[in-house]
Amino acid sequence: MSTASRALNCSNSVSEATRKRVMKVAEELNYRSGVERVKRGPNETCSLGAVFPGVGDGFYVEVLNGMIREANLNGVHLIVAFGHGPADEIRLIQEEMRKHNVDGLVVMNVDLPKRFVAWLKQYPMPVVIVDQPCAAKGISSVAMDNRSGAREAMKHLLVDHKYRDIWVLGGPEGTFDSIRRLHGCRLAFEDVGLVWDESCVYTGDFLESGGYQATYEKLMESNGDKPEAIFALNDYMALGAVACLMDMGLKVPEDVAVIGFDDIKLARVIDLTTVQVPASEMGSYAVQQLLNQVEGHANRDEDAVVLPTRLMVRKSCGCHHDDAGMLSMLACRDMDDCAVQM
């Protein structure tokens, strides 16, 4: 049974054709890779598991806060584990979550490989995926409307400010969030009858350092010609862009407007116009979905929820700006420093 075990556990040593055959037989035999939950007694408290790729990103922290709050409201235990890629997350699910005898799982990952999703579909308990809509694949999910959020932000630059020379700082190529947000940008151009030019897009890494480097390189490539605006597809890259512009002697928003995406806490401190995402609500809704499945009120494949975003108009785009607007960025690069200055 070693080949079947490797296939069901997404081992790279098994060919895709073999994996499909094994998984088909596994479904017919109701084989569950040796992972079975011990039945809970009538007076025992429900336990839910959550597997995250890490907590370095403020977005993940907000999602987790929402989950904790909802779990507390419903009187259930929440077991949280942090992995480092799909292989480690599978190990955590098989070993740690099984050890804690959880009743359902929330998996937080924006770019799950298809094999991992297929493996989760076979898992013998309710599963909810956060930030990747995939109910069509047999798993409930809750995600944000990346496309509409980016579309609204780009239209704000195009329509309300009449900007035309706009640079876009994207995330890693092929990632779910970056693809959807870029699509929203393209739709905004089409909405106002303009031609979308892919050359305005820089493929970055969603890090502040990446935003700085991208802005610097594009300024050098353009021989110092600056854009009217920069739309960074997450706030960390927006912060890097602002820092670079200021280091180059340019003012935000007087010389270059900047918009981000996510509405992290620092964005509110420095008046960064950005797209607010429902991170905490996503965590809360994921727990609600999971409890509905655990209690038998819903099927695991019937719910694909996409929550709306909201454009937060502040000073960095050119709205309501004054001389004090973004200057604090020079002396304020993290929340601890900002808290002291405030």
Per domain, the residue ranges of the chain are 33-144+281-307, 146-277+311-341
Give me the pLDDT at residue 134, please.
Answer: 66
User: What percent of the chain has a predicted confidence (pLDDT) above 70?
Assistant: 75
CATH code linked to domain 146-277+311-341: 3.40.50.2300
Confidence of residue 56 (pLDDT cuts 50, 70, 90): low
Residue 114, both tokens = 């298809």
| Spatial CB neighbours of 155, under 8 Å, sequence gap ≥ 6 | 188, 191, 192
153 vs 249: CA distance, rounded Å: 26
Q: How confident is the model over 156-184, as a mean pLDDT? A: 95
257 vs 315: CA distance, rounded Å: 9
Q: How confident is the model over 249-258, as a mean pLDDT? A: 97
Give me the pLDDT at residue 112, please.
Answer: 66
Query: Strand pairing of 274-276 and 310-312?
Result: antiparallel
- Give alpha helix (H) positions in 192-331: 208-221, 235-247, 265-269, 279-294
Quick count: other Cβ atoms within 10 Å of Cβ 189? 19
Is the model more confident about 203 or about 325?
A: 203
Q: What is the CA radius of gyration of the chain?
A: 22
3-state secondary structure string across 125-180: CCEEEECCCCHHHCCEEEEECHHHHHHHHHHHHHHHCCCCCEEEEECCCCCHHHHH
The per-residue pLDDT for range 280-308, each reduced to its tens digit, is: 999 999 999 999 988 887 666 667 899 99
Average pLDDT, the chain: 81
Which of 35-39, 130-134, 180-184 bottoms out in mean pLDDT, i.e. has the lowest?
35-39
Q: Report yes or no on whether pTM surpasses 0.75.
A: yes
Q: How confident is the model over 30-37, as a mean pLDDT? A: 41
The CATH architecture assigned to 33-144+281-307 reads 3-Layer(aba) Sandwich (3.40)
116 vs 13: CA distance, rounded Å: 15
Confidence of residue 332 (pLDDT cuts 50, 70, 90): very low
Question: Is the peptide bond between 172 and the residue preceding it cis, with omega within 30 degrees of 0?
Answer: no
Of 148, 80, 135, 147, the closest CA to residue 289 belongs to: 135
Q: How confident is the model over 202-210, as a mean pLDDT? A: 93
* Fold match flag (33-144+281-307 vs 146-277+311-341): yes
DSSP annotation of 39: P
Of 50, 47, 41, 37, the closest CA to residue 74 belongs to: 47
Question: Is the peptide bond between 253 and the residue preceding it cis, with omega within 30 degrees of 0?
Answer: yes
Of 257, 242, 90, 96, the closest CA to residue 165 belongs to: 257
Give me the pLDDT at residue 207, please.
Answer: 93
